[in-house]
């Protein structure tokens, strides 16, 4: 059984391991985890962290974001990604968000997490080429596709919440 709960400090290494394997090495750092509200998916029986999602509320542009979601490969297709995003949405809605954005990774013409976000009511609103380029150079993380300089396109998704 999978339980979605808040991040605890003991989870950090396990979350970073999921992030490194699913999103690219060093894309998410420990500092990133403390900048947002992080939810984790825990395999109840094993006590193993199998996924996580970061909600960013106090952003520079004032817009709330689901920054990222990732689920370990061997646990994919069980609804965990969808449940993590739902939890982040509930949290931000509870804080009064009127709309929520999420920059999703497009690779080979496909947005992996499209279904996960559509199931939570998000729709694609625009595409932004080289969205992670500056960050990939400054932070030195490795894109799983491009390596050191990320030229991937982001598709920005938005969820409109009722007043
Ligand atoms: C995308 C991701 C978070 C989905 O997690 P998940 O727990 O498998 O998601 P769910 O089980 O809730 O939903 C699965 C649905 O997503 C879709 N999906 C999952 N992986 C996919 C992929 N690689 N390509 C296309 N669609 C994919 C499928 O349509 C699937 O629906 P189905 O189970 O009815 O066939 C997970 O595969 C992952 O970590 N991917 C790598 C990191 C990533 O791309 N994160 C998004 C960054 S913006």
Rounded to whole angstroms, the Cα distance separating 91 from 66 reads: 11
Give the domain range for residue 38. Answer: 2-160
- pLDDT given for residue 91 in this prediction: 96
Which pLDDT band holds residue 16 (cuts at 50, 70, 90)? Answer: very high
3-state helix, strand, coil in the chain (%, to 5): 30, 35, 35
- pLDDT given for residue 95 in this prediction: 92
Q: Residue 58 above 80 pLDDT? A: no
Report the residue among 39, 85, 115, 127 best suited for mutation to probe ligand 1: largest number of ligand atoms under 8 A from its CB: 115
Q: Residue 45 above 90 pLDDT? A: no
What is the rounded average pLDDT of the residues 100-119? 94
- pLDDT given for residue 152 in this prediction: 92
And the tokens for 40? 């984790």
CATH number of the domain residue 52 falls in: 3.40.630.30
Q: How far is the CA of 49 from the centre of ligand 1 (A)?
A: 17
Ligand 1: list residues with CB < 6 Å: 22-23, 68-71, 76-82, 104-105, 110, 112-113, 115-116
109 φ/ψ sector (left φ>0, alpha ψ -120 to 50, else beta) = left
Domain count, the chain: 1
Asked whether the whole model's pTM tops 0.75, one would answer yes
| Percent over 70 (pLDDT), the chain | 99
């Amino acid at each position: 059984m999978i339980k979605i709960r808040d991040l605890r400090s003991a989870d950090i290494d396990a979350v970073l391991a999921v992030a490194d394997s699913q999103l690219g090495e060093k894309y998410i750092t420990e500092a990133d985890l403390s900048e947002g509200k992080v939810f984790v998916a825990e395999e109840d029986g094993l006590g193993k962290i199998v996924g996580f999602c970061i909600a960013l509320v106090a952003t520079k542009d004032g817009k709330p974001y689901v920054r990222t979601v990732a689920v370990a490969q061997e646990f994919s297709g069980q609804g965990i990604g969808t449940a993590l995003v739902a939890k982040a949405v509930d949290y931000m809605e509870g804080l009064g968000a009127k709309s929520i954005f999420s920059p999703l990774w497009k690779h080979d013409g496909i947005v992996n997490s499209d279904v996960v976000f559509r199931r939570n009511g998000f729709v694609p609103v625009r595409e932004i080429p080289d969205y992670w380029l500056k960050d990939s150079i400054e932070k030195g993380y490795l894109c799983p596709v491009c390596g050191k300089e990320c030229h991937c396109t982001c598709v920005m998704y938005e969820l409109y919440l009722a007043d």
